[in-house]
Structure 1
């Protein structure tokens, strides 16, 4: 008696391209801005690809290529074409794939293109052929056009903002793909509907209502018999394309069930549109600084939200630095503030040339944003170099420890103190999200910490004795109405409000 051969392992590829691109930011994202990962290094990004994991007997993971960058301005066309070409070539050369885990963002813009990710999907689908199931893991701040969704078989997104579930989302996309392939049920139905609402992430945090309840509902929809997944996107507010708006996709084996649940979620989102509020108390820069200085809470954190590099801002505006030093208590040193993250490689080089303890006169900021009219004028700073730090490209913080190169700490930095204000100048655009990002500087030793960020990431949130969201200018200005959108499809809330009480929320089955 001969034994039957073991079942064939599924061949599932992993790849993608991820960046969030503000079209109101003068920065341009080039190939050097991306961390490109291949082969075993790509598999090492994920816990569920391990050879001793529970999926090992079922799946042969096929690493393709993955490129990810810190959010910034639109991607240069040559960079996009280069990464797209490598991804599609590797798909074709990998041989037949049963499935593809497609690790993307959803808010990439490319110079000269509309809906670049739909173009990427077209190319990937052409490379895989029609028999491969594609499961996309996305950011909830992505945009989901019909053309984009039509090329995918499964698509899901984060359910938390801040994105504490980012790695869980990727694993969910992978496991649902494996489940689908093992079951042999083929492609499910996707009910897709866009909602004519476009809000910034700082108004749609799941820490607050109504986003908390709206996103909290997704797990219960997913648990319904016959439903594969339920996902909701708020869209990306700092791009100016027709696809930019909220969206819902419910994936199910029953198309009528998918449609009914998608339309119900879309209706709930639409009816709650005026209930979304900023995730924290807000004010202009001077108001926030005055309130923070006058508070007894220490450290008091302020978000310089308009120039947030992790939303797509240039990160080079010295506007907030100027406002800090315009306050007498801070200029005199009676109150201290730490302001990290003004990108200016020339100023950093001058500080390294001068050395720690030297007095320097610097023209700070505006290296990329000069001439944009968004308060991009350099600030003439006189101060003392108080710290110099070189860094490797090993990354920093919790995201880097999970292999997320979008938060790479590459480049040198210099701290300069003027009065009570210490500004950290960086050679490259760099977020400050974790205690490790501050290097040798201790943010807890300052009265104020003013970070180029929107809502506070978990470590900053835990650090803050109190917090304000400063509505500052920049490429990711929270005041969408003053940015100048003109390509988004209208009517669209909040650009249109009065007399705009009804919306077409009929779902389309894909």
Structure 2
């Protein structure tokens, strides 16, 4: 059998002033695309009797909405390559599920509709999405098979993609299209309140594995939805697939009920506070390294990455800049400053204005005079020291989730006193490293205070926007 591979993957905050353009995407085709998937390497079970046909895949660090001409260009190439690929039995659609394009809604459904028009009604389409994606009625109606991550942080991302591919191959070889029981749950919460590390999400997602193991069920999934986009599709959703209509419908209802029953019980994954409160607690603590999440400008949730509000506060604190403490701030994007530091070289002192050039609210560029202590040409990043404060500045929007990225700049986060990172919940390496951790509620395009952002395009009533809303009808629709 022949199965195509295509997709566009990005998480887009419609509240971020950043705009995602073509150079923000890493685009792969042909052998490079096929090489992304270890489970499709020669000799793996999923390659027996299957020709995988790599078409085009584009992925980007989460950011602001994609400009329409960029989406149109990428989608057009996918469609062109599909048309030239010859007869296909299936398509593995590798996408995130929370892409937004300026002026449009439910763009993943638009992408899949275009694929469906080209391959026709008989070809099976399968996807494995991020649980922070959105599963609309239109999208699930276009897809034959759909699943999503069951862990946040996403330690099962590649397992989910493999499961989507495995389900597709299995159904092509045997039973064909499964039935799908789908229901939306009118709840929209940030990932920092729905981490599967803690309750109630931990127990709710444990039920997904139980449902999948039942006779008559092929797969089960719960989408949290994406909180920082303003579209009707943005809400939680459940899909259970299989061949037993009664079982999958009952189990979709079970999962939807479990999510709704806990809708007002979700809490942040770590203790929270204002930036000032978090810094006071960190400075008073003996736990080292002490991590603080600068959550409002988290680039892996869609933040612009150059919000300078937190950096401005740090530079004004003698307890940070004029003490013997070592504080790392990771990171802020500013290509002009990064270039200037690289040209000056390690050991040079430069005076620059950093950040606040994409997202100028609530703070514009910040004046900084610092010594260049590290340059990472591969990543396009520099470290600038202002007393004990080490500020990472990057050429492009870049998350700092792994220790080696710090080390490449000559920084040792394990030996630091404070590490302040533009992130939501800590990714596994940082989580394991942190002696203590707080989540600072800071401003930015992915502000945790959803009510303040001004959603107007979502379906209402919806929790937490309508805290006293009545219990919804969670009867699944069989598709």
Shared fold by TM > 0.5?
yes
In structure 2, C-alpha distance between the alignment counterparts of 1:92 and 1:226, rounded to whole Å: 35
Q: CA deviation at 1:43?
A: 1.1
User: Would you say 1:84 and 2:52 are equivalent positions?
Assistant: no
In structure 2, C-alpha distance between the alignment counterparts of 1:188 and 1:360, rounded to whole Å: 62
Q: 2:429: which partner in 1?
A: 459
User: Would you say 1:382 and 2:373 are equivalent positions?
Assistant: no
Task: Provide the aligned C-alpha RMSD in A.
Answer: 1.1
Q: CA deviation at 1:358?
A: 2.2
User: Would you say 1:11 and 2:2 are equivalent positions?
Assistant: yes
User: Would you say 1:501 and 2:461 are equivalent positions?
Assistant: no
Gaps of 5+ in 1: 1-9, 392-408
Is the 1:389–1:414 Cα contact (8 Å) retained in structure 2? yes
Aligned length: 477
Is the 1:12–1:61 Cα contact (8 Å) retained in structure 2? yes
Q: TM (normalized to structure 1)?
A: 0.92
Is the 2:101–2:107 Cα contact (8 Å) retained in structure 1? yes
Which of 367, 371, 394 is matched with 2:357 structurally?
Answer: 367
In structure 2, C-alpha distance between the alignment counterparts of 1:353 and 1:334, rounded to whole Å: 29
Gaps of 5+ in 2: none
In structure 1, C-alpha distance between the alignment counterparts of 2:228 and 2:363, rounded to whole Å: 18
Q: 1:395: which partner in 2?
A: none
Q: CA deviation at 1:376?
A: 3.2
- Report SS of the residue matched to 1:279: coil
Give per-residue Cα distances to partners, 1:323-380, cap 9 Å, x unaligned.
Answer: 223333112123220002100111112222332222222111111112xx3x232211
Is the 1:19–1:108 Cα contact (8 Å) retained in structure 2? yes
Which of 123, 137, 159 is matched with 2:114 structurally?
Answer: 123
In structure 2, C-alpha distance between the alignment counterparts of 1:177 and 1:145, rounded to whole Å: 20
- Report SS of the residue matched to 2:45: coil
Q: 1:158: which partner in 2?
A: 149
Is the 2:224–2:236 Cα contact (8 Å) retained in structure 1? yes
- Report SS of the residue matched to 1:55: helix
In structure 2, C-alpha distance between the alignment counterparts of 1:255 and 1:121, rounded to whole Å: 25
Q: 2:299: which partner in 1?
A: 309
Q: 1:475: which partner in 2?
A: 445
Q: TM (normalized to structure 2)?
A: 0.98
Is the 2:288–2:434 Cα contact (8 Å) retained in structure 1? yes
In structure 1, C-alpha distance between the alignment counterparts of 2:383 and 2:40, rounded to whole Å: 41
User: Would you say 1:486 and 2:456 are equivalent positions?
Assistant: yes
4+ residue segments displaced more than 4 Å: none
Is the 2:357–2:364 Cα contact (8 Å) retained in structure 1? no
Is the 1:383–1:417 Cα contact (8 Å) retained in structure 2? yes
Matches within 5 A, 1:161-172: 161-172=152-163
Which of 51, 54, 79 is matched with 2:45 structurally?
Answer: 54
In structure 2, C-alpha distance between the alignment counterparts of 1:63 and 1:488, rounded to whole Å: 35
Give per-residue Cα distances to partners, 1:212-251, cap 9 Å, x unaligned.
Answer: 0111111110111111110000000000001100000011
In structure 2, C-alpha distance between the alignment counterparts of 1:49 and 1:271, rounded to whole Å: 40
Which of 178, 183, 187 is matched with 2:177 structurally?
Answer: 187
Which of 166, 170, 190 is matched with 1:200 structurally?
Answer: 190
Which of 214, 218, 223 is matched with 1:233 structurally?
Answer: 223
In structure 2, C-alpha distance between the alignment counterparts of 1:178 and 1:358, rounded to whole Å: 58
